[in-house]
């Protein structure tokens, strides 16, 4: 029997990288899936994989930076499955490692709305349904950029806020059936590190603040992050609440 048998999971950013690996892993563990991202065609590929594993799956085109989209996503999930057991807030963008002096307001607002506000929107929509069942596990994807404050200014701020919201929600529901934890991936081989994207990174600032960019510690694979997300999502972590788990080969100890 799979570790998530009988559970319904919403995963944002499920068509690429860590979110895709998590969706595929959750399908193998028996969860029914609600998959969200902006590119529906890419979501459908993950949906097809999940269905081929024998679970039910629904793809919903969603811009998580928009509160109405998040509301629509959760409504679609409840209409299809009548319950939400797991929420993985994974959708996110990088900020090209821009220091405060290089981060304009447009970039700041884009990163904060995608990486931070989305987590607030999604938890706010999902928690009433978890309350109804008095059970649920939320897994927010932060970053070692938060624990070390060594990414760009907007990404650091957003991912630090994710940890703060995670602990705050965990406090609110401590002792109930609802838990909220965060995973902090280290550098992971996903499209964020595609040559085109990496070329746009602010190398000077990166050198100043992070040895994980110099290649001396290996990048993880999306599956390494999916394993950690699965632990928080499953009942095996039922006594773990308000925690953050760094998954980065120890590169930031």
> Is 90 a residue that touches ligand NDP (CB under 6 A)?
yes
Residue 126, token pair as written in the block:
């999902």
The smaller minimum CB distance to ligand NDP, of residues 19 and 136, is found at 19
For ligand NDP, which stretch binds (CB under 6 A), given 2-10, 59-67, 200-208, 234-242? 59-67
From residue 176, alpha-carbon distances to 3, 155, 225 in Å are 21, 31, 26
> Which residues between 115 and 144 bind ligand NDP (CB under 6 A)?
141, 143
> Is 250 a residue that touches ligand NDP (CB under 6 A)?
no
> Is 13 a residue that touches ligand NDP (CB under 6 A)?
yes
Residue 46, token pair as written in the block:
């993950």
Contacts of 203 (CB under 8 A, 6+ apart): none
Q: How far is the CB of 121 from ligand NDP (least distance, A)?
A: 10
> Is 185 a residue that touches ligand NDP (CB under 6 A)?
yes
Interaction pattern, residues 65-84, with ligand NDP; x per rule: CB under 6 A: x-------------------
Considering only 117, 190, 241, 252, the residue that binds ligand NDP (CB under 6 A) is: 190
Which region holds residue 250: left if phi is over 0, alpha if psi is between -120 and 50, else beta? left
The smaller minimum CB distance to ligand NDP, of residues 66 and 135, is found at 66
Q: Is 159 exposed, middle or buried (0-12, 13-18, 19+ CB in 10 A)?
A: buried
User: Of the listed 49, 120, 155, 249, which one is catalytic?
Assistant: 155
The smaller minimum CB distance to ligand NDP, of residues 39 and 211, is found at 39
The smaller minimum CB distance to ligand NDP, of residues 185 and 242, is found at 185
What helix, strand, coil percent values describe the chain, rounded to 5? 50, 15, 35
The three-state DSSP-derived secondary structure of 77-94 is HHHHHCCCCEEEECCCCC
155 is catalytic: yes
Residues 142 and 232: their CA atoms lie apart, in Å, by 14
Residue 215, token pair as written in the block:
């290649």
From residue 30, alpha-carbon distances to 9, 112, 180, 217, 229 in Å are 10, 33, 21, 34, 15
> Is 46 a residue that touches ligand NDP (CB under 6 A)?
no
Q: Which residues bind ligand NDP (CB under 6 A)?
A: 12-13, 15-19, 37-39, 42, 62-65, 90-93, 114, 141, 143, 185, 187-188, 190-192
């Amino acid at each position: 029997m799979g570790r998530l048998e009988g559970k319904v999971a919403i995963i944002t950013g499920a068509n690429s990288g860590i979110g895709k690996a998590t969706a595929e892993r959750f399908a193998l563990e028996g969860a029914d899936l609600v998959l969200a991202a902006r590119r529906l065609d890419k979501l459908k590929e993950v949906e097809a994989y999940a269905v081929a594993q024998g679970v039910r799956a629904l793809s919903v085109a969603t811009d998580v930076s928009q509160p109405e989209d998040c509301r629509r996503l959760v409504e679609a999930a409840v209409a299809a499955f009548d319950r939400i057991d797991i929420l993985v807030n994974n959708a996110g963008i990088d900020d090209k490692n821009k220091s405060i002096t290089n981060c304009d307001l447009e970039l700041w607002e884009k990163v904060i709305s995608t990486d931070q506000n989305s987590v607030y929107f999604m938890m706010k929509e999902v928690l009433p349904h978890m309350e109804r069942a008095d059970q649920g596990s939320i897994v927010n994807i932060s970053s070692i950029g938060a624990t070390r404050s060594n990414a760009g200014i907007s990404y650091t701020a957003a991912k630090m806020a994710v940890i703060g919201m995670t602990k705050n929600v965990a406090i609110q529901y401590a002792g109930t059936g609802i838990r909220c934890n965060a995973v902090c991936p280290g550098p992971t081989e996903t499209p964020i590190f595609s040559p085109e994207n990496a070329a746009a990174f602010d190398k000077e600032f990166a050198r100043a603040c992070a040895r994980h960019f110099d290649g001396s510690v290996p990048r993880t694979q999306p599956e390494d992050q999916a394993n950690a997300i699965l632990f928080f999502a499953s009942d095996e972590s039922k006594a773990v609440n308000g925690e953050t788990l760094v998954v980065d080969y120890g590169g930031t100890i």
